């Protein structure tokens, strides 16, 4: 999913034909995915490159459950399953409730996609700023609205929520977008000034 997010962003930026950039972006995405996958099962990568128990882990599960989840996620990605389908599979392992299994699947897919996008932006040589995009409906959290209200920020900066890319919370539906100030200025120039009639009027 991280590679997917990276690939989509490269296509949007029009640099899918640059093999050097593409390789660097995919490497960055894989590095993030390797680190994140360890965190999700209460582990971390030691200095010697071996997987070790993380004493500060937010979640820890048994080796058997870890292996089952790893296999389920790999198969889901190979089959192109949706977050809901992956959630059902995780629930079927017996380690999580239906709601928690689906929440984990949906949230981690969004996280992987967002980190892939961020890797592509950083390695593109074209994008300098990023922005937070919400679903723009009544279910958007105040936290995500605040992130979106920031507009463009530097690629290495965190949004107000403390996250460098979506999600900001479980079941977050937001996305990361490349921010180009000149495009924003052009959009604003095209808007009718206050008090002027628009074409729709």
Residues 29-56 have pLDDT tens digits of 667 666 666 666 566 656 666 656 655 5
Same domain, 1 and 78: yes
My answer on whether 145 and 82 are in the same domain is no
Query: What does the block give as tokens for 87?
Result: 């959630």
Q: What per-residue confidence (pLDDT) applies to 29?
A: 67
Cβ-contact 32, 25 below 8 angstroms: no
Residues 107 and 25 grouped into a single domain: yes
Check whether residue 64 and residue 146 sit in a common domain.
no
Domain that holds residue 6: 1-127
Considering the domain architecture, whether residues 108 and 173 belong to the same structural domain is answered as: no
**167 prior amide bond cis, ω within 30:** yes
Number of domains in the chain: 2
Residues 111, 155: one domain?
Answer: no
Residue 199 scores a pLDDT above 50: no
Structure tokens at 201: 């009027």
User: Which of 71-76's residues contact partners 24+ apart within 8 Å by CB, and which partners?
Assistant: none
Q: Residue 33: its pLDDT value, please?
A: 66
Co-location of 116 and 166 in the same domain: no
Same domain, 63 and 38: yes
Which of 88, 109, 127 terminates a domain? The answer is 127
Considering only residues 159 and 171, tell me which one the structure prediction assigns the higher pLDDT: 159
pLDDT of residue 142: 96
Is 198 inside any structural domain? no
Q: Are residues 163 and 185 in the same domain?
A: yes
Same domain, yes or no: 57 and 76: yes
Residue 160 resides in a domain? yes
Model confidence pTM above 0.75: no
Whether 201 maps to a domain, the answer reads no
Residue 197 belongs to some domain of the structure: no
Average pLDDT over residues 133-155: 95
**Model confidence at 150: pLDDT above 90:** yes
33, 13: one domain: yes
- Which one of 127, 146, 172 terminates a domain? 127
């Amino acid at each position: 999913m991280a590679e997917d997010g990276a690939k989509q962003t490269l296509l949007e930026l029009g640099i899918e034909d640059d093999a050097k950039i593409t390789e660097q972006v995919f490497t960055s995405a894989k590095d993030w995915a390797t680190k994140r996958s360890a965190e999700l099962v209460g582990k971390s990568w030691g200095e010697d490159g071996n997987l070790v128990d993380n004493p500060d882990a937010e979640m820890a599960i048994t080796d058997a459950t870890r292996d089952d989840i790893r296999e389920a996620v790999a198969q889901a990605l190979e089959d192109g399953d949706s977050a809901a389908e992956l959630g059902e599979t995780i629930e079927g392992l017996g380690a999580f409730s239906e709601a928690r299994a689906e929440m984990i699947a949906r949230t981690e897919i969004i996280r992987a996609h967002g980190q892939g996008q961020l890797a592509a932006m950083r390695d593109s040589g074209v994008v300098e700023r990023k922005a937070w995009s919400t679903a723009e409906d009544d279910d958007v959290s105040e936290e995500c609205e605040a992130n979106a209200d920031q507009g463009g920020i530097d690629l290495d900066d965190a949004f107000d929520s403390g996250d460098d890319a979506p999600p900001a919370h479980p079941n977050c539906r937001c996305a990361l977008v490349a921010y180009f100030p000149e495009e924003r200025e052009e959009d604003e120039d095209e808007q009718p000034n206050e008090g002027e009639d628009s074409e729709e009027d």
